[in-house]
Amino acid sequence: MNYKKFLRFVCGSALLIFILSQLNTDLLTQIFLNINVFIFLIAVIFCGIANFLCALRWEILSEALGLKVSKKIYILVYFESIAANCVLPGGILGGDIWRTSRLAKEKKSEISTLGYNPKSSKHQFLKLSGFSVFLDRIHGFWSLCVVGTTSFLLFFLITPESSTRFSEQHTNHLIQLSIYLIILTFIMLLPILIKLSIYYFKTNLLKVRIFIGFSIEVAKNLWQASHNKKNIVISLSSQILFGLGFWICLYSIGLNLNIFLILVLVPGIFLFASFPVAIAGFGPREAGSLIFLMPLSLNNEHIFISSVLFGLTSTILGAITLLISLLSSSKSR
């Protein structure tokens, strides 16, 4: 274990210990024992479908870079990365590193991206693979921001009584909420700025390379892959399912909150989850949940357990993936 992994492990452990030190362990145990297992399993199913859609999104983005392998490989590697999130240090970062190395290893067809030799070096190959993973994360978070801002509007339009009551009860947090929504809206509008920059480079005939050395032609390919209707529907659907999965985890411990309000807050929670200091996938997400859900007048123990349950959906999916991989490898011998 190098010093970076060791530092992430120490920080992640310290974060979890700090959070647990602020909680009532007796109440945590009571909440955990009263979980509605059937409802929780529905959350597992929703998250499983969401991850399947994420694998399809990753495939579309990767193919725009010339990384053409079978759909089965993309799905398998994506679910392997879920298992890696629970095993490798760093949580999501560990899973993304796994995806990068596995896709580079599995790739056998020629790289069709403009300006690259089919006999690219392993280093170039890894760069392509890593960039596809990075794009997938960016696209996923952009979709979350679209879901969040849209849900905020629906919260006020469809449930005016609940929104009025919420505004009256949380006047002390309206400034923070406004700043948060401005950030989500800005991120949602970023593709327009990117499109304008591409148009600027094109019309001014600048021989500028962007995206870690990719040409403007590749940028246009990525734009088409990122914003074609099919990929947008896939990406938005996956993020809505993740948000519903989180809401179901809350519901499984007896918390019946407004679904639109939860969808507004999950982008911030999931952004915290991306911090590379998680221990078996836990830590940063729980901290983010406490920060974003405490203003809803929930107790810390319920928030913590709901976040842990959401994390356990990935743990279960990762365990199933490992089991299937082990069974498949034993049959092939």
Tokens of 120: 């690219």
Identify the three-state secondary structure at position 215.
coil
Identify the three-state secondary structure at position 163.
helix
How far is it, in rounded angstroms, from Cα 54 to Cα 248?
20
- pLDDT at residue 305, rounded to an integer: 95
| All residues at 6 or more sequence positions from 222 whose CB lies less than 8 Å from its CB, including other chains | 61, 64, 65, 135, 211, 214
Helix residue ranges per DSSP H, the chain: 3-21, 25-33, 37-63, 71-87, 92-106, 122-158, 160-169, 174-203, 216-227, 229-252, 259-273, 284-293, 300-331
| All residues at 6 or more sequence positions from 132 whose CB lies less than 8 Å from its CB, including other chains | 58, 61, 62, 65, 67, 103
- pLDDT at residue 174, rounded to an integer: 76
Cβ 305 vs Cβ 31: under 8 Å:
yes
| All residues at 6 or more sequence positions from 76 whose CB lies less than 8 Å from its CB, including other chains | none
How far is it, in rounded angstroms, from Cα 18 to Cα 125?
41
pLDDT in tens, the chain (333 residues): 566 677 777 777 888 888 888 899 999 999 999 999 999 999 999 999 999 999 999 998 888 877 888 888 899 999 988 888 876 655 677 788 888 888 888 765 444 443 444 455 566 778 888 888 888 898 899 999 999 999 999 988 887 777 777 776 667 777 888 888 898 988 888 777 666 665 655 555 444 444 444 455 555 666 666 777 888 999 999 999 999 999 999 999 999 888 999 999 999 999 888 887 777 778 889 999 999 998 888 899 999 999 999 999 999 998 898 888 777 766 655
Q: What is the DSSP letter of 276?
A: T
Domain boundaries, the chain: 25-331
- pLDDT at residue 309, rounded to an integer: 95
Q: What is the CA radius of gyration of the chain?
A: 21
> Read out DSSP for 20-87?
HHTS-HHHHHHHHHT--HHHHHHHHHHHHHHHHHHHHHHHHHHHTTT----HHHHHHHHHHHHHHHHH
- pLDDT at residue 165, rounded to an integer: 75
> Read out DSSP for 4-24?
HHHHHHHHHHHHHHHHHHTS-
Full-model pTM: 0.85
- pLDDT at residue 195, rounded to an integer: 65
